[in-house]
Each structure stands twice: as C-alpha cells, then as structure tokens.
C-alpha cells in the first residue's frame, strides 16, 4: 500500500474543496477580500431604443436605413418593467442608459455592427461588441464594478415595432466587483 503524506492529503483536500465551490456552488472562494467568486454573474435588464435619438445624419428614407454611421440610445429598465408592446408599465424602474454606436453596412437586411454600452446607475458601464447577425454579443469590459468584465450578453425581442429588448448578461467568474 502506498503511503500518503499529510502534505499530499491537504493539497488534495484543498483542490477538491475549490472545485466543489466553483462548480457545485457548495461553498465560497474569495477572489478578493469580501468578494465571493461565483460560478456566473447573471444580470437581467430590459431596454427600449428612443427613436428620437437616432442620429439625424441617418434620417431614415422611405426605403430604410442608409449605409454609414448609426447612433441610438434609450433607457434601461429592471426586468419585468416593459409590457408585451415594449412600453414601460406603471411600476417601471429606470436603472440606466443604453447607447449604441455602429455602422450600417447592409441597409436592405439591416446589417449593422457596433458597440453597445449599458450604463447602470451607481455600478458602472458594461461594454458589448456585436453585429446584427444574431442576438448575442461579447462583453469586452466596462467601468466601475464591470471594469474587468468578460462574458456574453443575449437578447430577446420584446417588441420589434417599439425596438424593445430583454437582455441577459452572463459574466465570467472573477471579472465583476474587483
């Protein structure tokens, strides 16, 4: 029978506890004093573009968007604030401002590429890079508690007519709150 030292036993136990804490959420591991490392940071918000903010240089002709730069913005709401038509309900809570800076490269199919910023009041900004070929994008950083944020954001359309969306942000462990 192989002999096991105390050092091997302690090292093996520590590694097992660490893996269980990260994968199974059965405990907590500290990334920084007072900051628990979680398996995934999940943030859910809703937002609607304000059509009055569309860059006037790109005023939409009857045939659709023109190729070139695009800017649009609107409020960010707590999850559940927007109705099925994309308009804010009576108890809607604004938690920030969403801005999109991009480029229209294919007007006929609304081909757009650009950068979204989600400025969450009192917390910081989340920066997202995306294109119109899907409803997901890469979180590439931010400011405040999101300054090292990495992960992805997924969107679902609440109302295409009112340009309203529900977003779920999945941020990697150890990248938030540093």
Q: What is the band of 154 on the pLDDT scale with cuts at 50, 70, 90? A: very high
- Write down all domains in the chain, each with its CATH number in brackets: 1-38 (no CATH), 40-171 (2.40.480.10)
**Residue where the block lists tokens 């119109």:** 132
Structure token pair of residue 19? 């893996």
Nearest-angstrom CA–CA distance, 109 and 114: 16
Residue 147 or 9, more confident: 147
pTM of the model: 0.71
Nearest-angstrom CA–CA distance, 167 and 139: 12
Residue-wise pLDDT for 35-92, tens only, equals 555 556 889 999 998 888 877 455 555 556 778 888 889 999 999 999 999 999 999 9
Quickly count: other Cβ atoms within 10 Å of residue 6's Cβ: 7
Task: Compute CA distances 82 → 11, 21, 78, whole Å.
Answer: 51, 36, 9
Of 15-19, 50-54, 153-157, 158-162, the range with the lowest mean pLDDT is 15-19
- Residue 125 pLDDT > 90, yes or no? yes
3-state secondary structure at position 26: coil
């Amino acid at each position: 029978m192989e002999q096991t030292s105390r050092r091997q036993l302690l090292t093996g136990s520590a590694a097992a506890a660490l893996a269980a804490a990260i994968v199974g959420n059965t405990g907590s591991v500290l990334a920084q004093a007072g900051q628990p490392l979680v398996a995934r940071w999940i943030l859910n918000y809703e937002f609607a573009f304000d059509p009055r903010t569309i860059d006037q240089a790109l005023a939409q002709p009857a045939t659709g968007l023109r190729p070139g730069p695009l800017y649009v913005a609107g409020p960010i709401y707590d999850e559940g604030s927007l109705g099925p038509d994309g308009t804010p309900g009576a108890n809607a809570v604004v938690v920030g401002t969403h801005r999109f800076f991009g480029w229209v490269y294919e007007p006929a199919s609304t081909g757009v590429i650009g950068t979204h910023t989600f400025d969450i009041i009192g917390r910081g900004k989340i920066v997202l890079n995306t294109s119109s070929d899907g409803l997901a994008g890469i979180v590439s950083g931010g400011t405040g508690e999101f300054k090292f944020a990495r992960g992805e954001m997924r969107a679902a359309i609440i109302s295409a007519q009112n340009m309203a969306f529900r977003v779920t942000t999945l941020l990697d462990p150890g990248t938030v709150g540093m």
